[in-house]
């Protein structure tokens, strides 16, 4: 139904009339770098099981985007990072998501989180481009490397979507 | 309760066990400029009734951030804009929101939307700084003017939050 004063259909509880708004979710991630190498995780979950990704996941209430990116890196790669700066925003309309990427300095070691099969440091000329899980992460990694991302602070990459 | 495989309390329907995740929402807006003047709206709703704001509101499913910013401008100021580029991202942790701002060119006239008391074009040296509704919009306007925002395409402003 369309609630009073609104112009869109919303999910409304038939019992208590609570309106359950559904809006895009924010996915936050980072590109962890250490000694010129990039930390990637091989996904242990669907979608894209077995493909590589930068650490990223759904932002939670009560945290900043940067805190979320650091938390996801800890959860997925058991790795502590010092977040640098926001460098890419990507609309993922079909999934109802916005993906936001940060630079990050990998501070120590890394491991394998619950949603990860394997984590590894890759030389910048050995990124497994054909096995990157998602276009947004592919875009972020490409732009990161073009920029020398860890050293460039305020250059934003945002894709103007051409939609029919 | 904490669903299996999760590490946070979530709202779970007692009847059907559907998990209702609650995540931060994205607010998208723009700074509409025309002949060197900026379009602002005086809010007709709470919070901050009677204060001025750039057009902005909750991003909806099925749209890009830029499309959302243009839609909100149409809804709040009856104004068509050509969106330029993304120039500011602001964490608003206490509200569970991320605010994203675009440059925009105001293409024609403007009016008063349902959530607006009054809309007006302001010279850049006559922005009513003491009556701006929200810190994020204040920040965006300041950075926009510092940058000459409509003419500068890839400079991103993002605030590193210092939190205790």
**Structure token pair of residue A17:** 């009339």
| A144 CB-near residues (< 8 Å, 6+ apart) | A31, A38, A87, A88, A101, A103
**ipTM for the assembly:** 0.89
Distance of CA B20 to the CA centre of its chain: 25
Question: Does B11 reach chain A within 8 Å, measured CB to CB?
Answer: no
- pLDDT confidence of residue A154: 60
- For A82-130, write each residue's pLDDT tens digit: 999 999 999 999 999 999 999 999 999 999 999 999 999 999 999 999 9
- pLDDT of residue B160 exceeding 70: no
Q: Which residue of A has its CA nearest to B84?
A: A160
| Nearest CB to B64; choose among A63, A93, A157 | A93
Angle, CA B32 vertex, CA B140 and CA B45 arms, to 5°: 75
As given in the structure block, the two tokens for residue B105 are 């060119």
Q: How many CB pairs under 8 A join A and B?
A: 96
pLDDT of residue A161: 67
For residue B15, give the DSSP letter.
Answer: T
User: How far is A156 from A158, CA to CA, in rounded Å?
Assistant: 6
pLDDT attached to residue B155: 64
Q: What is the mean pLDDT of residues B9-23?
A: 79
Give the best residue of B8, B26, B46, B147 to mutate against chain A (max A CB count within 10 A): B26
When CB atoms are compared, the residue of B24, B85, B161 closest to A26 is: B24
Per residue in A57-94, pLDDT (tens digit) is 999 999 999 999 999 999 999 999 999 999 999 999 99
Judged by a CB distance cut-off of 8 A, whether residue B156 touches chain A is: yes
Tell me the whole-structure pTM to 2 decimals.
0.90
Residue A109: how many CB atoms within 10 A of its CB?
11
Whole-angstrom Cα distance, residue B107 to residue B103? 13
Count of structural domains, chain B? 1
Q: Identify the pLDDT of residue A160.
A: 67
- Please check whether residue A15 lies inside any domain of the structure: no
Chain A residues within an 8 Å CB radius of B66: 91, 160-161
User: What stretches of B5-163 show up as alpha helix (H) in DSSP?
Assistant: 65-77, 135-147
Position B122 in a domain: yes
Q: What is the CATH number of the domain that holds B67?
A: 3.90.79.10
Indicate whether B154 pLDDT > 70: no
Question: Which of the four pLDDT bands, split at 50, 70 and 90, describes residue B1?
Answer: confident
| Higher-pLDDT residue of A163, A148 | A148
pLDDT at B128 > cutoff 90: yes
* Angstrom distance (rounded) from CA B129 to CA B122: 11
**Angstrom distance (rounded) from CA B30 to CA B57:** 10
Looking at the predicted structure, is the pLDDT value of residue B44 above 80? yes
d(CA B37, CA B87) in angstroms, rounded, equals: 18
- Whether A4 has its CB under 8 Å from any CB of chain B: the answer is no
Sort out which chain B residues have CB atoms less than 8 A from A30's CB and list them. Answer: none
* Domain carrying residue B129: 23-160
Is position A11 within any domain? no
- Tell me the per-residue pLDDT of B82-109, one tens digit each, with 9 for 90 and over: 999 999 999 999 999 999 999 999 999 9
Per DSSP (E only), the strands in chain B are 11-12, 19-20, 25-34, 37-43, 52-53, 56-58, 81-92, 97-106, 116-123, 157-158
Instruction: Give the pLDDT confidence of B54-89 residue by residue, as tens digits.
Output: 999 999 999 999 999 999 999 999 999 999 999 999
Judge whether A126 lies within some domain.
yes
Residue A4 within a domain = no
Tell me whether A158 touches chain B (CB under 8 Å). yes
Residue B7 scores a pLDDT above 90: no
> Is residue B8 in some structural domain?
no
SS3 (DSSP) at B71: helix
Is A63 an interface residue toward B (CB < 8 Å)?
A: yes
A7 domain residue, yes or no: no
Chain A contacts in chain B segment 77-136 (CB below 8 A): 85-87, 89, 91, 93, 96, 98, 100, 114
- Is residue B13 exposed (0-12), middle (13-18) or buried (19+ Cβ within 10 Å)? exposed
CB proximity list for B42: less than 8 A, separation 6 or greater: B50, B51, B52, B53, B116, B117, B118, B119, B120
Q: Averaged over B134-159, what is the pLDDT?
A: 82
Instruction: Report if residue B71 sits inside a domain.
Output: yes
């Amino acid at each position: 139904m369309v609630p009073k004063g609104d112009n869109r259909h919303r999910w409304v509880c038939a019992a208590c009339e609570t309106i359950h708004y559904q809006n895009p979710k924010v996915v936050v991630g980072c590109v962890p770098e250490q000694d010129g190498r990039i930390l990637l995780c091989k996904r242990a979950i669907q979608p894209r099981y077995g493909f590589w990704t930068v650490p990223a996941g759904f932002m939670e209430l009560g945290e900043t985007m940067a805190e979320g990116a650091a938390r996801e890196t800890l959860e997925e790669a058991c790795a502590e990072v010092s977040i640098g700066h926001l460098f890419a925003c990507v609309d993922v309309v079909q999934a109802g998501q916005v993906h936001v990427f940060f630079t990050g300095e990998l501070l120590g070691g890394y491991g394998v989180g619950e949603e990860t099969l394997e984590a590894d440091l890759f030389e910048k000329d050995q990124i497994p481009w054909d096995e990157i899980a998602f276009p947004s992460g592919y875009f972020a990694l490409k732009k990161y490397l073009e920029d020398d991302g860890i050293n460039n602070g305020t250059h934003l990459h945002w894709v103007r979507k051409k939609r029919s």
